[in-house]
Amino acid sequence: MARHLITSAIPYINGIKHLGNLVGSQLPADLFARYQRARGHEVLFLCATDEHGTPAELAAAKAGKPVAEYCAEMWQVQADLAEGFGLSFDHFGRSSSPQNHALTQHFAGVLAEQGLIEEVSETQMYSPADGRFLPDRYIEGTCPNCGFESARGDQCDNCTKQLDPVDLIDAYSTISGSRELEMRATKHLYLRQSVLKDELAAWIDTKTDWPVLTTSIARKWLNDGDGLQDRGITRDLDWGVPVKRGSEDWPGMEGKVFYVWFDAPIEYIACAQEWVEAGKGDDWARWWRTDRGADDVRYTQFMGKDNVPFHTLSFPATILGSREPWKLVDYIKSFNYLNYDGGQFSTSRGRGVFMDQALEILPADYWRWWLLSHAPESADAEFTWENFQASVNKDLADVLGNFVSRVTKFCNAKFGPQVPEAGAHGPDEAALIEELEGRVRAYERHMDAIEVRKAAAELRAIWVTGNEYLQKAAPWTVIKTDEARAKAQIALGLNLIRLYAILSAPFVPNASARMLEALGVSDAAWPGDVAGALTALPAGHGFEVPEVLFAKIADASRAEWQKRFAGTRDAA
């Protein structure tokens, strides 16, 4: 039994996320976690809300609430939506937790001991209109690299280039909108990432199995221009982890907090500590400390491409620079962007489908299937309502749902609600088993390699194989001349439903559970071989005809939703 530590990039607390956010990290991470559990492996799947920094402050101010109160409320909202989408986190934590405060301060202390933190006197943007220094995300303007007009002071979301606020063209305060900004002297702490450049490069060079998207972004940040830069890890904010050197005060840093991109990845570790504190586990260190048993852990991270630089460079710099025996990531699965119906998802304009809205109109499995089967792995992908409708109707309703309905209804009508006698397999059944054996093993290879779209395509092909067998076998015709043969065909079909439920659970867990419940199955072990799996239900085993698994999406509904989500939502 292998041990898998799985983390999803932690979402910002500021508002409800759209489907592009969901498919960029949390959903494929859940797919992988569910699959590994189904294979009998030990899994610790962690996520949390990213609650510090300017996004939280700005959103709380807009909501007219104290930032701590706002974050607590939005954590619950995000936790409920995660549950609604079937995200099987072992723990969903908070970066504002006491554990993350203490661990962030610990890392700052040991990095300082290693000579990797430097106090830097610098000038920083100050807004007289606001009466305060402006952290990077309180400043927006035009990116000097690509011309994107809503670039932030730390990074352009369009071209992913790391920026400094002074680089922005026509910069303004996001608090007051004032463009009367000036540079004033202040002091901050910097993580000396440049010292670790060669060590980080050598480590990344060992990751020959990583997606090209991941390594290309990492190497771009390592080598472009002047190479990897030292990075400020403190900010002039009230909300965040107070700057301390371990448990000791840090002279000259009074009133400052750690930069959100320093403390946020540390929450992955702190989240495991929260998991133990919540009574869900008993030893976080065996997952995170190589001196406590984490050597045999396979650690996989999931994230959108905009998060890659921080997870391939900044967080590893923190881990490596500490010179403590922390577990480093083994594999980073990064995703491109999902666009929306001819443009981009937009939180500010409410354009696109957000997680709460999605669950209002359709069950989670509809969205899970489309998002995962169209995951933006090798390039950006696009959500269109026409494609979504076609995929739901053809894949889920016509292929999987129709097979379950035809087999259970026919059996119930002709032989009663129990599995009939199977009888001997003929050439058609032997060919079916041979094809399925090859496809199931291919499905496993794609899932092991986290090739999400290929895995979805193979799963659909497995569903199609059963439909083609049923259509060719035609038990509704055979029963007229050979009832025993028809019984054998339908017994095989019922066992196929069980097999489909097990294999499909990582993608469509709710439908899978309904299939198993209808079959009266509690033991749903992963199939060691297809032939054995197709004789798992004995003759006489009772079942119920389930309600329709997937209703088709009508043209009128599609048109209504397309109009509704064109960009009218009031977003945080």
Residues at the binding site are 143, 146, 156, 159, 347
- Give the integer Cα–Cα distance in Å for 338 and 388: 13
Which two three-digit tokens encode residue 13? 């607390």
- Quick check: 189 and 117 in contact, CB under 8 A? yes
Residues 220, 232: Cα–Cα separation, whole Å = 20
C-alpha of 558 from chain center: 26
Residue 227, Ramachandran bin (φ over 0: left; ψ between -120 and 50: alpha; else beta):
left
CA torsion sign, 317 to 318 to 320 to 326? negative
The b-or-e profile of 121-130 (16+ CB within 10 A means b, else e) is eeebbbbeeb
Binding site per annotation, positions for Zn(2+): 143, 146, 156, 159
For residues 8 and 25, the answer to whether their CB atoms sit within 8 Å is yes
**Ordered strands of the 151-152 beta sheet:** 151-152, 139-142, 169-173
Helix (H/G/I), strand (E/B), else coil: 183: strand
Alpha-carbon gap, residue 37 to 207, rounded angstroms: 25
Cβ count near 98 (within 10 Å): 12
Q: Which of 4, 28, 2, 11 is nearest to 302 (CA)?
A: 28
Write out the binding residues for ATP.
347
CA distance 127 to 6: 42
- What is the biggest distance separating any 2 CA atoms in the chain, rounded to whole angstroms? 93
Q: Is the four-CA dihedral 352, 354, 358, 364 of positive or negative sign?
A: positive
For residues 47 and 92, is the Cβ–Cβ distance under 8 A? yes
